[in-house]
């Protein structure tokens, strides 16, 4: 039995039949033959398959359609037909996309048949003739529909700009083909360029990328050789004063075109927020950036486009940087007060202003902005050919190679607000505005340079001779040394202080303002000669215990009687230590005393005269008083002190002035360990002590703490060098030294019995020993003041003088526990603040009950 389905209706434009109804109808109207085995058995025959046909559809268009093209609608999946109860048989139907759909039916006949459907041709969506420069819109394209567009170019080897912009829906793909069907290029997102062949007609076909879904798009094409419109830019457009042109690029447009002509090798600056292509007279691209040199003949064309194809209102300016016009003239400023030779302008964020200056003589110049403004500005100097000479990131000066006109371009990098700025340019090879010449002696008065403008450059001339080593001092400024031609003398750091002058002549110290300088008032400046220095007070070696002279001027002439190592100690009027450097007669640095403490030493290679200079860079004042103690590295004339200070009277001494260094000879042998005790509470200022051996080599570092300990390694005898406390030009002190690594042994501290000790100004330390068999590994030590005032602290050492335990702070009464005492004898040192008092001291096993 054969079942026949009605024919599929046409899907014509303007049809009111719903899509789902069409799908259902299509399912029920496809003729089919069932071919298969007989339901009764295997003897049935299989007839030939019959072919189903359908009527052809008409063209379907979107909102723009120039030439209707016959096409078929997309294939719709076929639904299974209703079946009657009974045994089932299968059949397949081929969809338009090549897949198959299985249909199941109950056979009411002895055989089945296979459905064969005729091929289905998709209908065309949109299409027609494209006009250069016009945006076409296709409101709908779906499934396997195609948009077939045609265009004609009248120029051979034209280049086509294509903008395919997906408005909504599925992704699209497109391609351009020639008359012979050859694919010339594939079209994707952004702006596409397609190289064409001979003049004539071409086809552009748009399809959905996957053959599924529905979307919409706009399409625009433009010709590089024969653009639809190209606005001619007049000569005045290339002035920096031109406002430019403002237009709107429509959404989906390919490009906007501008035509112009300029002299060959002109440098133009294309300023716009669109993408650009600038072409020469042969339609070849010259540049795609904002700065372009017209290195090939014109006339020229500029094409603009928006990256994503959106609508964009833009402003285009194209000032010519070579032989620039429209920039105010900026006269050269003198040194010092620039007067009226100051350029002023306001520049908007991410915008530029310009100035032109004429240089009558080639040479270096400074370009000066206020330091506040310069943080926000980027400036560049160009010659009249539009080539960069220097910029903000270059050296502190610009070397102008020829006498000509230059253009200064200033850009606001601040991005937020306009910047109102001032600028001055000063020629370094001229002397107009320079201060009167100064000398290089160290005792001459400090110069005071007036500030009248934040953009001024200052000049201080002086006479120099070949081989002079000259140094300048200033307070937070930039100073440079140039010769009469304005060329920098010491452009590269030499690792030396100062600058070596190459020849006799007049030199200039150029000083520039920095943020710390301020914008008005004055600043100080010194020009000094390091080689064969003159004007420095003379200092000769002094003895330990003597106070050096105090005076002004930042240098000292050191009169050295013999080669050797010297200890050089430099302090200010309050005994604060300073760094300094020592130079020989040629101005070469011999020593850099970075610490300035009493152990700072300098090896002077020969007898003669050396120059010491205080190092602080912010010191520019001859009235600054200080003292320099020049001492032999090996102490001599030192008083010997006892190393049983717990028993003997303390050593007392004093300082008569700043910079004084006292020395004491310690009698303990090499390898022993000593401790220094001193009266007074914590925080009391005491002398700073450093221990050196017989060669002057430092053994233990500097400290003013009481309880200072030192192992005497090195060569005996040993010396304690004492430097006065800061903020105390004169003072007295008392101290006691105790050897804590063995004999002479201190009295025994009995176990579990309280021992009484008395303290006072002349007895501020006490020492006890504990034999090896009278202590455990864990011991407690208790002390309590029983009369008087003051505090004490107890420290426990082993037989080698190594400290094992002590309190955090001194106290009138306290108990400490030592948990890991070693085997062998112990030394217990009691240190007090020197007040008159008595204390009770006890030690016992830590586990024993407290009395």
Q: What is the pLDDT of residues 61-113, one digit of tens each?
A: 333 333 333 333 333 333 333 333 333 333 333 333 333 333 333 333 333 33
CA angle 226, 229, 233 (to 5 degrees): 110
Band (496; pLDDT cuts 50, 70, 90): low
Band (400; pLDDT cuts 50, 70, 90): very high
SS3 238: helix
| C-alpha–C-alpha distance, residues 195 and 204, integer Å | 13
Please say whether the beta carbons of 194 and 159 come within 8 A.
yes
Q: What is the mean pLDDT of residues 270-279?
A: 96
Band (24; pLDDT cuts 50, 70, 90): very low
pLDDT reported for residue 17: 31
Choice among 296-300, 564-568, 597-601, 752-756 with the minimum mean pLDDT: 597-601
Q: What is the mean pLDDT of the chain?
A: 83
Per-residue pLDDT tens for 733-779?
A: 999 999 999 766 899 999 999 999 999 999 999 999 999 999 999 99
Let me know whether 677 and 789 are in one domain.
no
Domain boundary among 198, 223, 248: 223
Per-residue pLDDT tens for 627-638?
A: 999 999 999 999
Residue 266, C-beta contacts closer than 8 angstroms, at least 6 positions apart: 293, 294, 320, 322, 323, 386
Residue 692 lies in a domain: yes
Domain boundary among 270, 288, 316: 316
Which one has a higher pLDDT value, 103 or 381? 381
Residue 418 lies in a domain: no
Residue 643 lies in a domain: yes
Residue 140, C-beta contacts closer than 8 angstroms, at least 6 positions apart: 62, 125, 214, 215, 216
Let me know whether 210 and 236 are in one domain.
no
pLDDT reported for residue 615: 79
Please say whether the beta carbons of 46 and 35 come within 8 A.
yes
Which one has a higher pLDDT value, 373 or 571? 571
Band (143; pLDDT cuts 50, 70, 90): confident
In 3D space, the residue among 316, 262, 321 whose CA is nearest the CA of residue 291 turns out to be 321
Residue 442 lies in a domain: no
Let me know whether 148 and 215 are in one domain.
yes
Strand extents, DSSP E, 490-607: 499-500, 505-512, 521-529, 538-539, 550-551, 555-560, 564-572, 580-583, 589-593, 601-604
pLDDT reported for residue 209: 84
Q: Is the pLDDT of residue 687 over 70?
A: yes
Relative to beta strand 708-711, strand 755-759 is unpaired
Per-residue pLDDT tens for 282-315?
A: 999 999 888 999 999 999 999 999 999 999 999 9
| C-alpha–C-alpha distance, residues 648 and 39, integer Å | 134
Domain boundary among 200, 223, 246: 223
Let me know whether 771 and 813 are in one domain.
yes
| C-alpha–C-alpha distance, residues 350 and 411, integer Å | 7
11 CA to centre of own chain: 67
Choice among 219-223, 388-392, 495-499 with the minimum mean pLDDT: 495-499
Please say whether the beta carbons of 507 and 501 come within 8 A.
yes
pLDDT reported for residue 28: 29
Which one has a higher pLDDT value, 681 or 324? 324
| C-alpha–C-alpha distance, residues 635 and 654, integer Å | 18
Let me know whether 107 and 13 are in one domain.
yes
In 3D space, the residue among 129, 310, 132 whose CA is nearest the CA of residue 229 turns out to be 132
Let me know whether 200 and 237 are in one domain.
no
Domain hosting 302: range is 231-316
pLDDT reported for residue 318: 97
Residue 478 lies in a domain: no
Most confident of 593-602, 676-685, 839-848: 839-848
pLDDT above 70: percentage of residues in the chain:
82
Which one has a higher pLDDT value, 659 or 211? 659
CATH of the domain at 838: 2.60.120.380
Let me know whether 652 and 718 are in one domain.
yes
CA angle 722, 694, 631 (to 5 degrees): 50
For tokens 């105390």, the residue is 728
Residue 834 lies in a domain: yes
Per-residue pLDDT tens for 254-273?
A: 999 999 999 999 999 999 99
pLDDT reported for residue 744: 65
- Total domains in the chain come to 5
Per-residue pLDDT tens for 224-244?
A: 999 999 999 999 999 999 999
Tokens describing residue 391 = 């910029």
pLDDT reported for residue 103: 31
Let me know whether 215 and 295 are in one domain.
no
Q: What is the mean pLDDT of residues 801-824?
A: 93
Q: What is the mean pLDDT of residues 510-532?
A: 79
745 CA to centre of own chain: 64
SS3 307: coil
Band (49; pLDDT cuts 50, 70, 90): very low
pLDDT reported for residue 476: 64
Let me know whether 80 and 152 are in one domain.
no
| C-alpha–C-alpha distance, residues 96 and 75, integer Å | 5
Choice among 479-483, 640-644, 728-732 with the minimum mean pLDDT: 728-732
| C-alpha–C-alpha distance, residues 253 and 306, integer Å | 9
| C-alpha–C-alpha distance, residues 309 and 256, integer Å | 12
Let me know whether 644 and 714 are in one domain.
yes
Per-residue pLDDT tens for 645-684?
A: 999 999 999 999 999 999 999 999 999 999 999 998 766 7
CATH of the domain at 301: 2.60.120
Residue 578 lies in a domain: no
Cis peptide leading into residue 667 (ω within 30°): no
Let me know whether 214 and 182 are in one domain.
yes
Q: DSSP class of residue 78? A: P
pLDDT reported for residue 105: 35
Per-residue pLDDT tens for 402-434?
A: 999 999 999 998 878 899 999 999 999 999 999
Q: DSSP class of residue 760? A: B
pLDDT reported for residue 703: 85
Band (33; pLDDT cuts 50, 70, 90): very low
300-305: strand order across its sheet: 231-232, 256-260, 300-305, 275-279, 285-287
SS3 671: coil
pLDDT reported for residue 42: 33
Residue 117 lies in a domain: yes
Let me know whether 111 and 17 are in one domain.
yes
Q: What is the mean pLDDT of residues 573-583?
A: 90
| C-alpha–C-alpha distance, residues 220 and 162, integer Å | 6
Strand extents, DSSP E, 370-494: 377-382, 388-391, 398-400, 405-412, 419-427, 447-451, 457-464, 469-474, 478-482
């Amino acid at each position: 039995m054969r079942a026949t389905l009605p024919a599929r209706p046409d899907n014509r434009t303007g049809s009111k039949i719903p899509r789902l109804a069409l799908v259902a109808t299509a399912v029920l109207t496809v003729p089919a033959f069932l071919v298969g085995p007989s339901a009764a058995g295997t003897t049935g025959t299989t007839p030939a398959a019959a072919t189903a046909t359908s009527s052809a559809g008409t063209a379907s268009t979107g909102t723009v359609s120039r030439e209707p093209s016959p096409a078929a609608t997309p294939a719709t999946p076929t639904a299974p037909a209703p079946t009657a109860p009974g045994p089932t048989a299968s059949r397949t139907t081929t969809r338009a996309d090549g897949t198959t759909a299985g249909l199941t039916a109950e056979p009411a006949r002895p055989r089945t048949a296979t459905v064969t459907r005729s091929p289905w041709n998709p209908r065309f969506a949109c299409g027609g003739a494209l006009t250069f420069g016009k945006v076409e819109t296709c409101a709908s394209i779906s499934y396997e529909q195609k948009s077939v567009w045609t265009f004609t170019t009248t120029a051979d080897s034209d280049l086509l700009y294509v903008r395919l912009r997906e408005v909504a829906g599925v992704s699209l793909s497109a391609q351009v083909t020639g008359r012979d069907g050859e694919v010339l290029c594939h079209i994707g997102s952004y702006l596409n360029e397609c190289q064409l062949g001979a003049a004539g007609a071409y086809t552009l076909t748009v399809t959905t990328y996957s053959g599924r879904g529905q979307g919409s798009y706009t399409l625009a094409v433009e010709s590089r050789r024969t653009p639809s419109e190209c606005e001619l830019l007049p000569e005045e457009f290339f002035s920096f004063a031109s406002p430019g042109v403002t237009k709107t690029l429509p959404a989906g447009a390919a490009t906007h075109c501008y035509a112009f002509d300029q002299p060959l090798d002109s440098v133009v600056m294309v300023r716009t927020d669109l993408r650009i292509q600038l072409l020469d007279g042969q339609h070849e691209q010259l540049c795609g950036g904002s700065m372009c040199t017209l290195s090939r003949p014109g006339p020229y064309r500029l094409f603009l486009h928006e990256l994503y194809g959106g609508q964009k209102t833009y402003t285009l300016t194209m000032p010519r940087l070579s032989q620039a016009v429209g920039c105010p003239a900026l006269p050269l400023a003198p040194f010092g007060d620039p007067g009226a030779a100051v350029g002023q302008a306001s520049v908007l964020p991410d915008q530029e202003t310009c100035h032109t200056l004429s240089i009558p003589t080639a040479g270096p110049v400074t370009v000066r902005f206020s330091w506040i403004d310069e943080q926000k500005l980027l400036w560049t100097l160009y010659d009249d050919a539009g080539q960069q000479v220097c910029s903000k990131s270059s050296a502190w000066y610009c070397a102008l190679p020829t006498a000509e006109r230059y253009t200064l371009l200033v850009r606001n990098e601040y991005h937020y607000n306009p910047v109102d700025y001032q600028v001055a340019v000063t020629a370094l090879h001229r002397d107009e505005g320079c201060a009167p010449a100064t000398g290089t002696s160290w005792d001459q008065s400090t110069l005071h340079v007036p500030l009248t403008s934040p953009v001024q450059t200052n000049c201080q001339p002086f006479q120099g001779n070949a081989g002079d080593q000259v140094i300048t001092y200033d307070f937070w400024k930039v100073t440079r040394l140039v010769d009469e031609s304005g060329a920098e003398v010491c452009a590269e750091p030499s690792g030396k202080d100062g600058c070596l002058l190459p020849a006799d002549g007049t030199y200039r110290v150029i000083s520039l303002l920095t943020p710390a300088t301020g914008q008005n008032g004055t600043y100080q400046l010194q020009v000094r000669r390091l080689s064969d220095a003159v004007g420095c007070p003379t200092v000769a070696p002094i003895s330990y215990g003597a106070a050096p002279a105090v005076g002004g001027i930042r240098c000292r002439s050191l009169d050295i009687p013999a080669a050797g190592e010297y200890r050089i100690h430099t302090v200010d009027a309050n005994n604060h230590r300073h760094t300094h450097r020592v130079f020989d007669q040629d101005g070469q640095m011999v020593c850099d005393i970075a610490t300035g403490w009493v152990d700072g030493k300098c090896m002077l290679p020969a007898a003669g005269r050396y120059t010491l200079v205080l190092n602080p860079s912010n010191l520019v004042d001859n009235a600054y008083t200080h003292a320099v103690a020049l001492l032999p590295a090996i102490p001599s004339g030192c008083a010997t002190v006892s190393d049983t200070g717990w028993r003997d009277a303390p050593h007392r001494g004093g300082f008569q002035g700043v910079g004084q260094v006292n020395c004491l000879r310690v009698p303990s042998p090499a390898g022993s360990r000593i401790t220094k005790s001193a009266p007074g509470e914590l925080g009391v200022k005491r002398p700073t002590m450093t221990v050196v051996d017989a060669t002057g080599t430092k053994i233990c570092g500097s400290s003013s703490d009481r309880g200072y300990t030192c192992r005497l390694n090195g060569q005996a005898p040993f010396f304690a060098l004492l430097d006065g406390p800061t903020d105390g030009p004169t003072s007295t002190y008392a101290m006691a030294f105790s050897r804590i690594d063995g004999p002479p042994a201190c009295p025994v501290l009995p176990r579990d019995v309280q021992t009484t000790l008395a303290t006072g100004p002349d007895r501020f330390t006490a020492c006890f020993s504990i034999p090896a068999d009278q202590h455990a590994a864990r011991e407690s030590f208790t002390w309590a003041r029983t009369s008087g005032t003051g505090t004490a602290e107890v420290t426990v050492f082993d037989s080698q003088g190594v400290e094992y335990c002590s309190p955090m702070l001194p106290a009138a009464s306290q108990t400490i526990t030592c948990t890991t005492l070693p085997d062998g004898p112990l030394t217990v040192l009691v240190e007090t603040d020197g007040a008159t008092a008595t204390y009770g001291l006890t030690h016992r096993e830590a586990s024993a009950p407290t009395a």
